[in-house]
Amino acid sequence: MRQIDHFISGGAGAAAKRFGDVFDPNNGTVQAQVALGDAAVLERAVQAALAAQPAWAATNPQRRARVMFNFKALVEANMDELANLLSSEHGKVIADSKGDIQRGLEVIEFCCGIPHVLKGEYTQGAGPGIDVYSMRQPLGIGAGITPFNFPAMIPLWMSGVAIATGNAFIIKPSERDPSVPVRLAELFIEAGLPEGICQVVQGDKEMVDAILDHPAISAVSFVGSSDIAHYVYQRGVAAGKRVQAMGGAKNHGIVMPDADLDQVVNDLAGAAFGSAGERCMALPVVVPVGDETADRLKAKLIPAIEALKVGISTDAEAHYGPVVTAAHKAKVEGWIQTCIDEGAELVVDGRGFKLQGHEEGFFIGPTLFDRVTTDMSSYKEEIFGPVLQMVRAPDFETALSLPSKHQYGNGVAIFTRNGHAAREFAARVNVGMVGINVPIPVPVAYHTFGGWKRSAFGDTNQHGMEGVKFWTKVKTITARWPDGSPDGGNAFVIPTMG
């Protein structure tokens, strides 16, 4: 059976003591075993990073950018291999896996311009003969703890900016689909990155805790559920690290009466059910404004949902594939039953879905609920599966209040032809990322990604200039070059520039 190992200093780690099963979600079988590392494994990676990082930090930014250019070309050349590997472990269809990789590459493209964004500030003549300037310098060693749902995009978001700014970087991928980050690290070496600068350590909570506690790791980026994000943030900060910890979501789509419902239905089909709903930027709650809007939307949604094709990840005609594990399938189906028990109207039931020839696969059909209310636990919590809940709102203000009051604040969308309503909504909603007629408002790579409330812990977002700030520290220099004549100043008082 295939074994997935660590990637430390350009090669595999030592023999593992513990292993975890990696499934093929399409048929439910164990396809590989992943090594589960410990603090000793992490220590080897840290020592390799400590040895390699100073020279990498001293490498001029344009040479670091050339590595990013080379890496981008290599990932593109190996796109099919990476997408097939990703789909085999995660279960998302090939086209979606390629999108996962491409969205990560967009951050790498941003990193190709790192010489420009690392430029500091300069003031000539801030005082008599005094100049002041600043520079951004790397932190040293960073670490990324990445989720199962985007095994390429999230590691690329984190590693690209961290490495381009001069840091060494250690990735701890999800043990559910751990192969793609290893392959990406191999391609980084092929692109010219020195060994020890990008490494992968496999593991579970034991490895996470080792990363959070290690004194040589200066910063940690995390994406996962909110409870774990809060834990990572608290433990990492207590250890003196910078931490950005992105958590869960319950994104809402507000549908105004004037919206193009055909477009809304098309957008909802992809945003709610794409990737089997396993996205932190999925749109699992739709909020039609007014019962007439709700009834018209529901009538259009039912046939659209029933027409969705669930298939294996290599089926080019499938809209989405299986969820990642049997345990996650059971969890999602448990939430469907909870929603029924809480009194919601089950319109389309995706439980019990079986795919011929793949009966043991982790498949769930698309599910639609109507008349979900805000007191239901299934509304309050993240389901993270192919389940769409309809919460009816009588008016705009009520619709605005739903995502604003929810414990999560990752993303939200409004569908309307009314510019004033869209502008008002975008300005007032208490959510970090807003889409106007855009169902999944993930910002482009040169902007920044981050939610509010329990969707994010920490003060700095991912990628864009926020990412550059997170992975660097600012040094400010005040310089004076005397001309040889004393200025008569008092050396015992704080200097001023007056």
Residue numbers annotated as active site: 280
Segments of 186-327 assigned E as strands? 198-200, 219-223, 242-246, 252-255, 285-288
CA atoms of 122 and 138, how far apart (whole Å): 19
Helix (H/G/I), strand (E/B), else coil: 278: coil
CB 181 within 8 A of CB 200: yes
CB 407 within 8 A of CB 277: no
CA atoms of 279 and 285, how far apart (whole Å): 13
Neighbouring residues of 186: CB distance < 8 A, sequence distance ≥ 6: 7
How crowded is residue 30: how many other Cβ atoms within 10 Å of its Cβ?
A: 12
Segments of 180-321 assigned E as strands? 198-200, 219-223, 242-246, 252-255, 285-288
Going by DSSP bridges, is the β-strand pair 242-246/219-223 parallel, antiparallel, or unpaired?
Answer: parallel
Chain position carrying tokens 């793949």: 358
Please state the φ and ψ torsions of residue 298, each to the nearest 5 degrees.
-60, -40
Q: 121 exposed, middle or buried (CB, 10 Å; 0-12, 13-18, 19+)?
A: exposed
Residue 357 one-letter amino acid: G
Tokens representing 22 are 């990696």
**CA distance to 14, 43, 45, per residue, from 37 (Å):** 10, 10, 11
CA atoms of 315 and 356, how far apart (whole Å): 13
Neighbouring residues of 498: CB distance < 8 A, sequence distance ≥ 6: 127
CB 280 within 8 A of CB 410: yes
Task: State the Cα angle at 454 between 453 and 455, rounded to 5°.
Answer: 90
- DSSP annotation of 151 reads T
CB 152 within 8 A of CB 104: yes
Tokens representing 232 are 């990572």
CB 247 within 8 A of CB 230: yes
CB 143 within 8 A of CB 219: yes
